[in-house]
Structure 1
């Protein structure tokens, strides 16, 4: 079982590693109190669940520095866990909020056009889609609300089951591998985070029978 201390160390390591490879523009290292691992400062994450436009959600999170890491393309990363003791995970929230605006590209297009990492975000057919991994067994409902799940976009009832909770390393590897690897610069290989996952399985047998995500 992953401990609270191990999770804090992983978040710190992820943050430092993103700085080292120049993917982080701004960052807030994690804080911990009473079993809660949260973003430094007193940040309210409820804004991301309100019925307002995604652009407004993003702006409020960005302006309030409500993120662990702000990536160089403006995307925001949130990593928050809650334990009721050193080893008993209660819940977590791991979120990826890509920038909904290409204003920076419009103002400094020459910087983006020479860098392969920005090739996707400047294409007009790209749709900005936030992702969120949640672990919340206290609200588990078979199939309708899996204990561990992925939400794509802000869709209220989009909850794709996961076999088990995931670590910060696995989360960041997923983001880098799918959104930031380029033909010449594979960040997921350069950083090579340990994807060992000692959390217990939590998927229900009925949830195994529908499309779901799995990692050993």
Structure 2
């Protein structure tokens, strides 16, 4: 397996620190639910999935733009899954909503959340909200078809971009910030900081996929490395 539970939790702590430092942190859920049935979610559209992930408590972080990140480690079944779901609405964050309505924000205050949810559904929906998910699953590996380590990009499609490395929560977060939030990413790379310094060494530090799960056909196709 790529790393132990302790290292996994330590990386989530680092992600929280980063999100707070760049003022992109809305909420951390320390006890996300593992009761996730993919077959149920495959029947829903993007908006329904985003709402269900929140209402079913299947997220690790909520960002200030109401997008969510979820990090799941299943050591027993040798599986990893990290998911980013962009908020499907063009909306204010909860804090911005309170300020905009002249309401004093108190840490962890959710007494106006019902009003905020009504506001959300009055906002314009984004035309193409983005979902990115990283999966590592040795049991589902099929040479040249289903990489053990891969990225899904987009909702309800068969895109699987193979990787010859095993991503960590921090490396996945770097991908999300780099690809979907260039302004936040720019603030990280133009100044000296612990995240930037770790990022410069991160790729070489990632574990390689074992040869039994990264074979000739996988190496021959275009992949991420």
- Identify the TM-score tier after normalising by the shorter chain: 0.7 to 0.9
Tell me if 1:208 matches 2:208.
no
- Distance in 1, Cα, partners of 2:82 & 2:159: 15
* TM-score for the superposition, normalised by structure 2: 0.71
Q: Which residue of 2 aligns with 1:180?
A: 181
Report what 2:33 is aligned to. Answer: 42
Greater fraction of residues in helix: 2
**Ranges of 4+ aligned residues in structure 1 off by more than 4 Å:** none
- For structure 2, the 5+ residue unaligned runs are 101-124
Decide whether aligned partners of structure 1 residues 184 and 155 sit closer, same or farther in structure 2, where only a CA change above 3 A counts.
closer
Aligned pair partner of 1:79 in 71, 75, 96:
71
Instruction: Tell me the TM-score normalized by structure 1.
Output: 0.74
* Superposed CA RMSD: 3.1
Deviates more, 1:1-10 or 1:184-193: 184-193
Greater Rg by CA? 2
* Closer, same or farther: CA 210–182 of 1 in aligned 2, 3 Å: same
Q: Would the aligned equivalents of 1:162 and 1:203 in 2 still touch at CA under 8 Å? A: no
Q: Which runs of 5+ in 1 are unaligned?
A: 30-39, 112-123
| CA distances 1:86-137 after superposition (whole Å, capped 9, x unpaired) | xxx81100111001112448x96xx8xxxxxxxxxxxx98621201010011
Aligned length: 188
Residues 182-212 of structure 1 deviation map (CA, whole Å, 9 limit, x = unaligned): 1895246653244153423243221122121
Q: 1:146 to 1:66 in 2, by over 3 A?
A: same
Distance 1:183 1:13 in 2: 16
